[in-house]
Amino acid sequence: MDRIRSRVLGAACCLVLAGCAKTIDCPTVDKLNVGTSTLADAIGLLGKPTSQGAKDGSSILKWEATTHRNVGGGTATHVQLTFGPDGRLADKGCTTVVTPQRVQEPAGG
């Protein structure tokens, strides 16, 4: 019985966390506008960045997200946003790489 309870609790936690996750993809990044969007806007839209740094008075934030399919393949999305000293979005970049599903070779051949 404890084993079943443990599995149900684990599955419930996964569903709750999945509901809290922010979408990190290029159409979502397109909602941010250079010159007007702020750091708070970006974090509100994308969630906590994967990494951040500073250069010449600007803040550089990065997000990375990957998805995998059970049979191979998937996507990797990389977002980089640069905010100027005024706290406004100065530059944005987003790329998505799709890895195709691997084809299974027939047995014996």
Is pLDDT at 98 greater than 90 in this prediction? no
Q: What digits encode the pLDDT tens for the residues 57-72?
A: 999 999 999 887 666 7
Per the model's pLDDT, the better-predicted residue between 105 and 12 turns out to be 105
The rounded distance, in Å, linking the Cα atoms of 65 and 47 is 11
Residue 107 lies in a domain: no
Task: For the chain, give the mean pLDDT.
Answer: 81
Number of domains in the chain: 1
Residue 89 to residue 97: CA distance in whole angstroms: 24
Is 95 inside any structural domain?
yes
**Can you give the pTM of this predicted structure?**
0.70
Q: Which residues contact 50 (CB under 8 A, 6 or more apart)?
A: 62, 63, 64
Residue 73: give its domain's CATH number: 3.30.1450.10
Does some domain include residue 62? yes
Which residue in 78, 92, 75 sits closest to 38, CA to CA?
92
How do residues 14-63 score in pLDDT, each as one tens digit?
Answer: 333 344 568 899 999 999 999 999 999 999 999 999 999 999 999 999 99
Range of the domain at 31: 23-99
Note whether residue 31 is domain-resident. Answer: yes
pLDDT score of 2: 55
pLDDT at position 71, please?
Answer: 66
Residue 82, CA distances (Å) to 26, 43, 61, 93 in order:
15, 13, 6, 9
Pairing of strands 74-83, 51-55: unpaired
- CA–CA distance, 82 with 54 (Å, rounded to integer): 9
